[in-house]
Amino acid sequence: MLQIRKLTVHYGPLPALKEVSLEIVRGEIIALIGPNRAGKTTLLLTLSGITETTEGRITFEEEDITNLNPHQIVSKGLIHIPQGRHIFPTLSVLDNLLLGAYVKRKEKGEIEKGLESAYRLFPKLSERKDQRAGTLSGGEQQMLAIGRAIMGRPKLLMLDEPSLGLAPRFIEEIFATLKKMNQTGSTIFIVEQEIPLTLSISHRGYIIRNGRILKEGAPSILLESQEVKDLISI
């Protein structure tokens, strides 16, 4: 579904990613783990078209999407939930959801289908659809961020640190929802610091450090690796 080949990205003269290669097969949950400043967020921003590629190639569904504009990438079905959620706090829950359906606004029935899916996964969003988003708890705001992404009918959903700042019960609920979404056909690429929990729902994972991919493999193999043991002990 997604192939990244020898991707290099610079911030000014400094390399943030160095010849990164990975792939995601349709129907997988893929984890990207690593220490802070390893390049995880940069990779998602590059896939989203926000950060420009220096060298390398990104292919999605056999189409080269390297350095396309963000709105072009979203329209192809790659949808990114950024770190910190970035909801619109003064707008209602419903209005936040409707903004996520912007790319589907001309397709008959898609908005209704999106709302149905979001409310089915997160009934609280339906209960609070008229409430200002900024008054939701952190966990509820993360539900809203995922619901807003669902409105765009993603083919590949990319999440950056969805557990950040959440209480443990919300973290467990969010990850259970991601697993449920995958079981019903969603393909997910997740960057996370909650390593054991993330690997527990993933099919494969990649370890990144200093902008380079160090290791790739099944969760059971990665959990036994010294690289992951070092990360968990930090």
Judgement on whether residues 197 and 106 belong to the same structural domain of the protein: no
Q: What is the pLDDT of residues 81-127, one digit of tens each?
A: 999 889 999 999 999 999 999 887 777 788 899 999 999 999 999 99
Q: Is residue 61 part of a domain?
A: yes
Q: Which residue has the higher pLDDT, 58 or 194?
A: 58
Q: Is 197 exposed, middle or buried (0-12, 13-18, 19+ CB in 10 A)?
A: middle
What pLDDT score was predicted for residue 165?
A: 87
Quick: pLDDT tens for 178-222. Answer: 999 999 999 999 999 899 999 999 999 999 999 999 999 999 999
Residues 171 and 73 in one domain: yes
Contacts of 203 (CB under 8 A, 6+ apart): 28, 29, 30, 218, 219
Query: Above 70 in pLDDT, residue 167?
Result: yes
Q: Do 44 and 59 have their domain in common?
A: yes
| Average pLDDT of every residue of the chain | 93
Do 183 and 225 lie in one domain? The reply is yes
82 domain residue, yes or no:
no
Same domain, 109 and 211: no
User: Considering the domain boundaries, does residue 54 fall inside one?
Assistant: yes
Q: Is residue 70 part of a domain?
A: yes
Res 135 pLDDT > 90: yes
Helix 138-151 vs helix 110-121: crossing angle, to nearest 10 = 150
Say whether both 165 and 135 belong to one domain.
no
Average pLDDT over residues 62-78: 95
Give the per-residue pLDDT at 84. Answer: 87
Q: What is the CATH number of the domain that holds 207?
A: 3.40.50.300
What's the number of domains the chain is made of?
Answer: 2
Co-location of 160 and 229 in the same domain: yes
Using 50, 70 and 90 to split pLDDT, how confident is the model at 233? confident
Q: How many CB atoms lie within 10 A of CB 89?
A: 13
Which of 101, 128, 153 represents a domain boundary (last residue)?
153
Mark whether 73 and 189 lie in a shared domain.
yes
Eight-class DSSP state of 103: G
The amino acid at residue 121 is L
Q: Which of 177, 85, 79, 169 is nearest to 133 (CA)?
A: 85
User: Which of residues 112, 129, 153 is at a domain's end?
Assistant: 153
Whether 142 is in a domain gets the answer: yes
Q: Are residues 170 and 64 in the same domain?
A: yes
Residue-number span of the structural domain to which 91 is assigned: 87-153
Same domain membership, residue 210 and residue 107: no
Q: How confident is the model at residue 234 (pLDDT cuts 50, 70, 90)?
A: low
What's the predicted TM-score (pTM) here?
0.93
165 shares a domain with 64: yes
pLDDT of residue 107: 76
Cβ pair 81, 149 in contact under 8 A: yes
Q: Give the neighbor-by-neighbor strand order of the sheet with 14-24.
A: 14-24, 2-11, 55-60, 63-64
Q: Is 50 left (phi over 0), alpha (psi -120 to 50) or beta?
A: alpha
Q: Establish if 180 belongs to a structural domain.
A: yes
Tokens coding 63: 């189409």
SS (H, E, C) 180-209: HHHHCCCEEEEECCCHHHHHHHCCEEEEEE
Q: Does 59 have pLDDT greater than 90?
A: yes
Give the end of a domain, one of 116, 135, 153: 153
For residues 199 and 216, membership in a common domain is answered with: yes
Pairwise pLDDT comparison (159 vs 110), residue with the higher score? 159
